[in-house]
Amino acid sequence: MTESRLSSGLPSRLLADPEMVTACAERDFTTIFRLAKAKGGYHASRIARACELTPSRVGEVMAGRREITNMTVIERIADGLRIPGHMVGLAPQAWEHAKAEVRPVAALSGRPAAPFTGTALPSPELDDILALAASTRVTPTVLRSLQASIEDYWRRDDEHGGEALRPAVMGQLRYVLGILRDTADPHYRRSLHGVAAELARLTGWTYFDARQYSTARSYFAEALRLARVIEDRPFIANVLSCLSLQATYEDKASEAITLARAAQDSARLDGGTPRLMAMLAMREAFGHASAHDQEATHRAIDDARWHFDRIDQTDDDPVWVQYFDRTKLTVDAGIALGQLGDAAAAEPLIEEALRSEPSANLRGRAFHSFWLARTQLQRKQVELACTTAGESLTLAFEVASPRVLAHLQEFRQSLTPYRSVRSAAELSARIRELTS
């Protein structure tokens, strides 16, 4: 979930465009924003995030209904879009200066660096005091750094699971909440609320993957509270969809359906993009599948496909929903059909998705391999199912996902009627050994 241009700013070719040069010289932000969208790939919400403005304000400027004359805001725009200061009549910005050369400590002192000892670390109480004394000043650069960290956390969660990641995420959440308390600028406060909401959701997700559902729900609720403050309806929908998914794991099908529908309602209030609506419809399908409602499940899957087919490359998708691609749509449809017991329809969909799923996404591949094994076993393909489940077990053990391991324990129970089959007996013993 990367958004590379947020860190590098507008493309150099666009900054050299005569129309952009003229617009900057005249501080014509209507034209600047329009060009950023048309030629730089920056939609309104992306400009808002980069420049610490509200999406509605950006929209008003792009429509020519509002002008920007406040110097603080102009500086934020120049910093956020990486427009050199001289182009808009400002002094050179901090990021324009060449970075100072960084040399190893030993080279600076002429002496070897002292060996690290654990006593060099401050105590938690002293850490709090030092954090207060540091009093971090919020800038667009700080916010971009925080967002980049979140994107990296999600990538590492996909690749390695969230167990070892959680302390870092929780620490950064605490750090952001501390900055938020000390920040008065309403634009920065809005962005910090958004960052904190995403960190709270990520913390909740790591607890969900660890099957610690009560704690996960607490963090999801905190993410909702933070998103509610800034009326970020799409993100509220995102958190509700997480709660819906968790409800399916807690065998609360009715709650899962209600939460998924509430998520869709929240997204519609902000004109949810087709990709977002497709993801939310699929979460509703999971709820109906948990309730063993064939008709409603198929209807929700059809809704998801209908929305997905209307995706356009110009859609202003939130960064956090861009993972929901054709492969994810396909495998989720297969999983929902597998939950219904329609293995014949589910198996080819999951197989197709696994062929195109990134190899680095260990947990996803472990999870989807389990579902493929389950559909194969439903079709009495015992040897093939055991081979597939064995691959899932290897991946799950590597990524340390209690959620996937729990699925495999369920699969072991499903092997009971086939305990006389050698491959089933060997896999059962292996699952017992690795999950005990």
Contact 370, 404 (CB under 8 A): yes
Number of H helices, E strands in the chain: 23, 0
Q: pTM to 2 decimals?
A: 0.73
Contact 384, 400 (CB under 8 A): no
Over residues 364-369, the mean pLDDT reads 91
User: Six-digit token pair at 197?
Assistant: 């909401």
pLDDT in tens, 102-112: 344 343 344 44
Q: Which of 274, 424, 256, 429 shows the shortest CA–CA distance to 339? A: 256
User: Six-digit token pair at 421?
Assistant: 């089959």
Of residues 15 and 337, more confidently modeled: 337
Over residues 260-280, the mean pLDDT reads 94
Q: Which of 403, 334, 401 shows the shortest CA–CA distance to 374? A: 334
Is 50 exceeded by the pLDDT of residue 189? yes
Classify the C-alpha dihedral 323-325-328-332 as positive or negative.
positive
User: Six-digit token pair at 100?
Assistant: 């100072």
Assign 17 to helix, strand or coil.
coil
pLDDT at 141: 81
Query: Would you give the end-to-end CA distance of the chain in angstroms?
Result: 35
- Lowest average pLDDT, out of 205-214, 237-246, 258-267, 354-363, goes to 354-363
pLDDT in tens, 118-177: 445 455 555 555 455 555 678 888 888 888 889 888 888 887 778 888 889 999 999 899
pLDDT at 123: 54
pLDDT at 125: 53
Of residues 345 and 86, more confidently modeled: 345
Structure letter (DSSP) for residue 138: P
Residues 6+ apart with CB under 8 A from 354: 331, 365, 368, 369, 372
Over residues 191-213, the mean pLDDT reads 93
The mean pLDDT of the chain is: 85
- Lowest average pLDDT, out of 103-107, 128-132, 245-249, 346-350, goes to 103-107
Q: Which of 415, 428, 351, 422 shows the shortest CA–CA distance to 380? A: 415
Residue 208 CA from chain centroid, whole number: 14
